[in-house]
Amino acid sequence: MSAPKKLYIKTYGCQMNVYDSERMAEAMGGAGYVETRDVSDADMILLNTCHIREKAAEKVYSELGRFRELKDARPDLKIGVAGCVAQAEGEEIMRRQPLVDLVVGPQSYHRLPEMEARLAKGEKALDTDFPEEDKFEALKARPKARRGPTAFLTVQEGCDKFCAFCVVPYTRGSEVSRPAGRILEEASGLVERGVREITLLGQNVNAYHGVGPKGGDWSLARLIWALSEVDGLERIRFTTSHPNDMSDDLIEAHANCAKLMPYLHLPVQSGSDRILKRMNRKHTAQSYLDVIGRIRAARPDILLSGDFIVGFPEETDADFEDTLRLIEAVGYGTAYSFKYSTRPGTPAANRAQVDPSVADERLQRLQALLTRQQREVQQSMVGREVSVLFEKPGRQPGQMVGKSEYLHAVHVVAPDIRPGDIARVRISESGANSLAGVLI
């Protein structure tokens, strides 16, 4: 029996790319590949790319250039590009970088084994279709290994919102929700492999509308309630949401579904109605704050997370002050913030840009405010009891690290605790990005 071939996957970008990389590794498992962490040991290299930031494509080309030596030393080495840059650039990648053998978009990676087979015949392989067949169905049969206590599970892909700065609708296509029955099946399979917490993924996950096992239209809330019936699945999370799709039943699930964790990532991007309009976000600062108010009324201890863009074209000082005011009003437990990044092909790309030094200064002020809020929320945990799902050993002897229900990293000296255990912890200390505690 020949030795298994080695696959090296490098993943950029969002949690959905992390999920996709796991699926690609499983797909290639069927073609006789096992994963390696050592690129020099690989028979095949796959870059699973992200297209969300400026120069994303250029970064991929410079990374590919670094494989020149490896390829010269081993001409049978196969090099592939997957993900959103593959979808956006397609054939252009092979034209610009001839050492690339394979380019596959996010909707076609279940076809990787047959594409790899074509390479063996000396051909190149390109597939950036939006195929009819369900890739998840094609991947279902693949053997699956034991895994850690947390997992991502894609339930929805694509987006129909067309925010003026975003490439996702172009690289991931329009919104598609997976059938609820398949998701429940995959979730049960994950629990059998040791998973206790699942994060449901979608570019616009709360717009989920999948067909139910017996027909009918299931919302995300209905799916969450059904998942909460899966034995052994203790925690459920979801990301990424749009404020306009925070439905009453989803907010009610936050109030009453014990397995739905009190953590919500709800991007807003700006606090200025003028800029929100120019971004085509289809909501106002006040409507966003109203949604936050309804969520907090339903689950007062919920930890809120947000996304912000500063320096969006035409943003004035007054617009930026509106954003700071909104952040003060919400009080975020954590948040992600970026300078606007021009994305080719998006409506905002050709508008008047904000001076980069102004954008830098605004980002610093915004991040200082967000860091202050994050520290205050973390400090407010000291003395409180939380429930921690332990994931791995910490750096100190006998130390274990996990996440609380608010998604805070928590470390505890607990030599008898194992990955996958869930235990009550009293928080004793708040650090820069994590908490310390003692088992109760």
CB atoms within 10 A of CB 60: 24
- C-alpha closest to that of 129 among 90, 95, 166, 81: 90
Which residue is associated with the tokens 């907090």? 296
Binding residues for ligand SF4 restricted to 34-93, rule: CB under 6 A: none
**Taking the complex as a whole, how short is the minimal distance between the CB of residue 261 and ligand SF4, in angstroms?**
21
Residues in CB range of 15: below 8 A, 6 or more apart: 152, 199, 201, 239
Tell me how far apart the alpha carbons of residues 346 and 164 are, in angstroms, rounded to a whole number: 6
CB 242, min distance to ligand SF4, A: 5
Task: Give the SS3 label for residue 290.
Answer: helix
For residue 369, what are its two tokens?
């405010």
Q: Which residues contact 232 (CB under 8 A, 6 or more apart)?
A: 191, 192, 196
* Amino acid letter, residue 266: L
238, 138, 118: which is closest to 187 by C-alpha? 238
Binding mask 108-147 for ligand SF4 (x = CB under 6 A): ----------------------------------------
Minimal distance in Å, beta carbon 283 to ligand SF4? 11
Q: Among residues 6, 51, 110, 242, which is the contact residue for ligand SF4, using CB under 6 A?
A: 242
Q: 154-183: which residues touch ligand SF4 (CB under 6 A)?
A: 159, 161-163, 166, 168-169
Assess 305 for contact with ligand SF4 (CB under 6 A). Answer: no
Nearest residue (CB) to ligand SF4, 97 versus 239: 239
Q: Minimum distance from CB of 29 to ligand SF4 (Å)?
A: 30
Nearer to ligand SF4, 178 or 343 (CB): 343
Nearest distance, CB of residue 172 and ligand SF4, angstroms: 8
Task: Please say which residue, 218 or 308, places its beta carbon nearer to ligand SF4.
Answer: 308
User: Residue 66's CB: how many other CB atoms inside 10 A?
Assistant: 9
Q: Which is nearer to ligand SF4, 224 or 266 (CB)?
A: 266
| Assigned token pair, 89 | 């650039």
d(CA 166, CA 185): 32
**What DSSP letter does each residue of 22-68 carry, written as one string?**
HHHHHHHHTTTEEE-S-GGG-SEEEEEE--SSTTHHHHHHHHHHTTH
Cβ burial 217-229 (10 Å sphere, 16+ → b, else e): ebbbbbbbbbbbe
Count of residues of this chain found to bind ligand SF4 when the rule CB under 6 A is applied: 10
Least distance between ligand SF4 and beta carbon 21 (Å): 19
Minimum separation from the CB atom of position 158 to ligand SF4 (A): 8
Smaller CB distance to ligand SF4: residue 191 or 276?
Answer: 276
Candidate list 156, 199, 203, 272; residue touching ligand SF4; CB under 6 A:
203
Cα–Cα dist 411/376, whole Å: 19
Q: CA-CA distances (angstroms) from residue 381 to 185, 348, 411, 426?
A: 36, 41, 14, 9
Distance (Å, whole) CA 338 – CA 133: 36
Residue closer to ligand SF4, measured from CB, 13 or 169: 169
**Is 204 a residue that touches ligand SF4 (CB under 6 A)?**
yes
Nearest approach, Cβ of 122 to ligand SF4 (angstroms)? 39
Q: Which is nearer to ligand SF4, 4 or 345 (CB)?
A: 345
**CB 357 → ligand SF4: shortest distance, Å?**
26
Q: Is 436 in the site for ligand SF4 (CB under 6 A)?
A: no
Phi/psi of residue 351, nearest 5 degrees: -90, 165
Q: Which is nearer to ligand SF4, 40 or 174 (CB)?
A: 174
Closest separation between CB of residue 396 and ligand SF4, Å? 39
- For ligand SF4, the closer of residues 106 and 169 by Cβ is 169
Exposed, middle or buried, 238 (CB in 10 Å: 0-12/13-18/19+)? buried
Closer CB to ligand SF4, residue 203 or residue 374?
Answer: 203
Residues of this chain that interact with ligand SF4 (CB under 6 A) are 159, 161-163, 166, 168-169, 203-204, 242
